[in-house]
Amino acid sequence: MRALLLLFLTATCLADTVTMKDGTFLKGHIERIASGVLEMRVPVLGEANVQHLQLTQVESFVTEEAVLVSSGGVVSRGRANAAGGRVASQGGAETSPLDTGLELWRDPSLRPAETAGQRQWTTQADVDVSGRNGVVMGSGFSAGFSAKGVTKANTVTAGVRLVRAESGSQTSADDLHLTASYETNPTDVVFWYVRSDSGYDNARLIDFFSVNAAGRGFRLYADAKGKLDARLGLAHRFERYASPAQASLAAPSADLGLLFNRELGWAAWDTSLNFVPSFQDSGDFYVRHETSLNLLRNAGPLSLRVGVSNDFRSKPQPTQVKTDTSYFLRTTYVWK
């Protein structure tokens, strides 16, 4: 028991420490600093969980191992610490400002300025069980796969989700979503984005649908634990129905969205909301929403997510309801 306690205390003492301006602090492993962002792996939040901390919110930090530090000039190697807006290294006499020009890395071959063009990928696979309340009440499952690639300049994401649910002999959900998005990483508060969501929804008698949009994004709020983004753009919405007698929908539309995520310590909170109103008919609009909490995170790649999603259409087909709601319990596996 004493040996285990000593091992735990030793691991804690050897951890890097970051103190935020709000007085909170984190212990873990500082992966790197680039473009004004400090990336830190915090073991208590799970080895797959990397915190992205804005340097403007960092009061100080100290590393317990030798790292490489530069502000675009001389590179110093040694244990580093930051305080009072300056960064010092045991490997050199010069100090560097704690600002967007600071670089910190560990592997000599992975300097951020030299690898900025290399896309860093994170992939995720998941499966869930769900209950539904909408077209038909029932229960079922969904399975999905997604990939996210990040460079200094932009972020690319793509994913696929298959949903199937039944109630007796009736189908309450049978749909497929293929999603893709591209956004420039904001240097201040404004960025560009392009997104697409297409597939089919057999329960709603839609053989094919697509929403394609592009516009400007605005970072309304960001700190060490999360962010809130808003999107405003133009879209085209298309739907082809199973009934030959019903004409397809093709409407130029607006694209309004909110994306929120927050680290709560015991869980991670994620919410997305998209509102697509038609320009041809002010009463015709489409809303898609999902909120989830990522729970039971540990040192491994597995986690458990619980959440709710809503699909609302203001003018559904005559035999359809407006709102389709799903409650899910999702097991997620993440790897890089």
Tell me the C-alpha to C-alpha distance, in Å, between residue 268 and each of 78, 265, 291, 296: 34, 7, 11, 10
Element (H or E) spanning 16, and its range? strand 16-20
CA dist., res. 108 & res. 87, Å (int)? 19
From the list 85, 66, 84, the residue with the least C-alpha distance to 76 is 66
Sequence ranges of the domains in the chain: 2-115, 120-335
DSSP letters for 27-46: EEEEEEEETTEEEEE-GGG-
Q: Average the pLDDT over 314-327 and give the result.
A: 85
CA dist., res. 39 & res. 224, Å (int)? 10
DSSP letters for 204-218: GTEEEEEEEEEEEEE
**Which has more confidence, 12 or 154?**
154
- What token pair was written down for 76? 């110093």
- What token pair was written down for 54? 């804005």
CA dist., res. 100 & res. 118, Å (int)? 19
pLDDT digits (tens, 9 = 90+) for 279-313: 988 889 999 999 999 887 765 688 899 999 999 99
CA dist., res. 323 & res. 195, Å (int)? 23
Residue with the two structure tokens 């028991």: 1
Q: Is the pLDDT of residue 115 over 80?
A: no
| Residue 255 and residue 273 in contact, taking contact as beta carbons nearer than 8 Å | no
**Which has more confidence, 153 or 6?**
153
pLDDT computed for residue 13 by the predictor: 52
| Residue 125 and residue 99 in contact, taking contact as beta carbons nearer than 8 Å | no
What is the Cα 289 distance to its own chain's centre? Answer: 15
The torsion angle over the Cα atoms of residues 79, 82, 87 and 90, rounded to 10 degrees, is -20
**CB crowding 170-189: b at 16 or more within 10 Å, else e:** ebbbbbebebebbbeeeeee
* Largest CA-CA distance found in the chain, in angstroms, rounded: 79
pLDDT computed for residue 154 by the predictor: 87
| Residue 16 and residue 33 in contact, taking contact as beta carbons nearer than 8 Å | no
Element (H or E) spanning 4, and its range? helix 2-13
Q: Report the phi/psi class of residue 113: left, alpha or beta, with left for phi > 0 and alpha for psi in -120 to 50.
A: alpha
CA dist., res. 121 & res. 119, Å (int)? 6
DSSP letters for 43-78: GGG-TT-EEEEEGGGEEEEE-SS-EEEESSS--EEE
Q: Average the pLDDT over 191-197 and give the result.
A: 96
**Which has more confidence, 324 or 92?**
324
pLDDT digits (tens, 9 = 90+) for 3-36: 444 344 444 456 899 999 998 889 998 989 988 8
- Provide φ and ψ at 170, rounded to 5°: -100, 145
Q: Is the pLDDT of residue 60 over 90?
A: yes
- Provide φ and ψ at 256, rounded to 5°: -120, 135
Q: Which CATH number fits domain 120-335: 3.90.550.10, 2.30.110.10, 3.20.20.30, 2.40.230.20?
A: 2.40.230.20
